[in-house]
A and B are shown apart, each in its own frame.
Chain A
Amino acid sequence: AQTVTQSQPEMSVQEAETVTLSCTYDTSESDYYLFWYKQPPSRQMILVIRQEAYKQQNATENRFSVNFQKAAKSFSLKISDSQLGDAAMYFCAYRSAENRGGSEKLVFGKGTKLTVNP
């Protein structure tokens, strides 16, 4: 079974600074997807960024980028120019691409609570 580990329960960053959230995963599969989701306090979970394992290029979405190291099974999220609105729980998630029957099952890490200080 796949597992996802987020080793930083909490992180803090100054507004306008850069922060990196860590995520490692364990799998024997070669084809999969990785995601970072953001869950603001009392608000809906939204997708921040996604990475397809067979693509070597790291995904970027505006101020958000990932460092995907497939051999090391590492998938960190970098947030540049942090804003107050970035304060949230961030979850790293894994989805297999090898289930031929299809399945949307996401395996989540425990999350990292990010605080942005003004």
Chain B
Amino acid sequence: KAGVTQTPRYLIKTRGQQVTLSCSPISGHRSVSWYQQTPGQGLQFLFEYFSETQRNKGNFPGRFSGRQFSNSRSEMNVSTLELGDSALYLCASSLGHPGETQYFGPGTRLLVL
């Protein structure tokens, strides 16, 4: 089975721009979660989608949004980029049942200049 894939792997943007990141889960997985990883804050939960519905949301400003499509692929969007948005963005997929293992993608490294 193919693993979780994320595109693009690297991105450089400037302040004020917007960006869209994509995540393709493992086949059959209906849950996709997004995390932001920075040296200072560590790994922080952004949101989770299950069957096209946002099931949980972390404590991030409204500039961070996401969606999930009928094939379970997910996108996250960050509008009006700030320098502090520079991070590794990880997505993870799972079957969506309690305690199921989440499988992580390689991440998208975003640099905001």
Contact = CB atoms under 8 A, between A and B. Distances in A.
Interface in B90-104: 90, 92, 94, 96, 98-104
B102 A104 contact: yes
Interface stretch (A21-29, A64-72, A75-83, A94-102): A94-102
A57 to B, nearest CB: 15
Contact of B99 (A45, A91, A95): A95
B43 A104 contact: no
A interface SS class:
loop
Contact of B104 (A44, A99, A105): A44
Interface residues of A, number: 24
Given A45-B90, A47-B101, A97-B99, A103 B43 contact: no
Nearest to B44: A108
A3 to B, nearest CB: 12
